[in-house]
Amino acid sequence: MTRSPLWRGAAALAVLFGPHAVTALSAAAELAGADLGQPGLPASVNVSALSLAVAGIWLLVRARHPVNDRATRPAVGGAAALALAGAALLPLTGQAADTAATVLVAGAGAWLCAGLAADAGAPLWRGRLAGESARRWDMDAVAACAIVFAAHLIVMILDDWIDLLQGPTAVDQVDAVGLPNPTLFTIQALAAGVREEIPLLALPAALMMAARRPAWQILAVVCVLRVIPHAYLGATAPPSIIFAGAAWWMYRVTGRIGPIIVGHTLFNATALWINHAEIDYTGRRVMTAMAVALAVLLLSYAPNAAPAWLRHWLSKKPAPDDERPAKAKEPAI
């Protein structure tokens, strides 16, 4: 494989998360005390709509000049509609416009990433994304979903601990993203699984694995890619490498992105319920401990996802190296 698929993947990430990354890093710099004269992008620009417009144009070009020479009218029409929607939403910076652009760019990003990966001979899923999330929920898929869910809960506990240390200067995510409307925030939170896991995990991992990059390089890339869009959270952004690493581990051993998206979405729904129910720190720790225990138990029954030593340890069976025949005693003379 040449480097061109990797460069196209990098370009896709720049399109889908570049504008958001600029504003997130600018917000992080301001939290660190930097005085920025012109922070990020202009305030009158909807950054999600900017990504949507560029992604729509790219998809339109791909639809009109496909790799397999099979242009279809629905693809051309859909790509054109996404580009026009992005252009229309670009000057609108309200909460509703930002939410609409975020949901649309999540779909556009999944479409673009799937096409780029397929061109490189490393398809992200078979059939449709909805089918990928629903099909074949074997123990590997269940364990992957549980591990990702538990990793997110662990990060939530770490965030709570960091917030306690920071005191009143801690950054609240609802305030940071500028979405005080709970309904719109819920919509964006539930769309985050598709919005983040496909471009930030599946695409770079698939392309780098196809290019035979070592696992540690892929892990480093997906962790950095996960931290940058969350930089606006300040000190609570770095712990996101925990669920980024867990997601990469599960994607590597299962080869499926659907269960990881489900685990991410399930956590976001749980976090919304926790905040609504005002569960205290002790309750969150109990929930996290239970989720981790359940995830480890499910992982022990996963034939491909679980390490062999974990299955042997939980089942209290000796490892193959320890299975030595007992030495027979010689009769006493």
String of DSSP letters for 191-246: HHHHHHHIIIIIHHHHHHHHTT--HHHHHHHHHHHHHGGGGGGGGGSTTHHHHHHH
Q: What is the spatial distance between Cα 59 and Cα 76, in angstroms, rounded to a whole number?
A: 8
Tell me the C-alpha distance between 146 and 293, whole Å: 10
- pLDDT at residue 1 in the model: 41
Q: How far apart are CA 199 and CA 119, in angstroms?
A: 15
At 117 the pLDDT is 94
Please enumerate in sequence order all residues whose Cβ is within 8 A of that of 15, keeping only pairs 6 or more positions apart, or say none.
Answer: 51, 54, 55, 58, 112
* Distance between CA atoms of residues 109 and 198, nearest Å: 8
pLDDT in tens for each of the 333 residues of the chain?
445 899 999 999 999 999 999 888 888 887 777 666 555 555 578 999 999 999 999 999 988 776 554 557 788 899 999 999 999 999 998 899 999 999 999 999 999 999 999 999 999 987 777 776 776 788 999 999 999 999 999 999 998 888 888 765 555 555 555 557 889 999 999 999 999 999 999 999 999 999 999 999 999 999 999 999 988 888 888 999 999 999 999 999 988 999 999 999 999 999 999 988 889 889 999 999 999 999 999 998 888 887 777 666 666 555 445 444 544 445 444
pLDDT for the residue numbered 333: 46
Query: What residue has token string 């869910």?
Result: 149
Q: Which among 21, 27, 15 is positioned nearest to 86, based on CA atoms?
A: 15
Tell me how far CA of residue 272 lies from CA of 47, 164, 210, 241, 265, in angstroms: 24, 20, 37, 21, 11
Question: Residue 171 gets which letter from DSSP?
Answer: P
The angle that helices 215-227 and 240-254 make with each other, rounded to 10 degrees, is 140
Q: Is the dihedral of CA 11, 12, 16, 21 positive or negative?
A: negative
- Residue 314 has a CB neighbour count (10 Å cut-off) of 14
CA distance 52 to 114: 16
- What was the pLDDT predicted at 316? 59
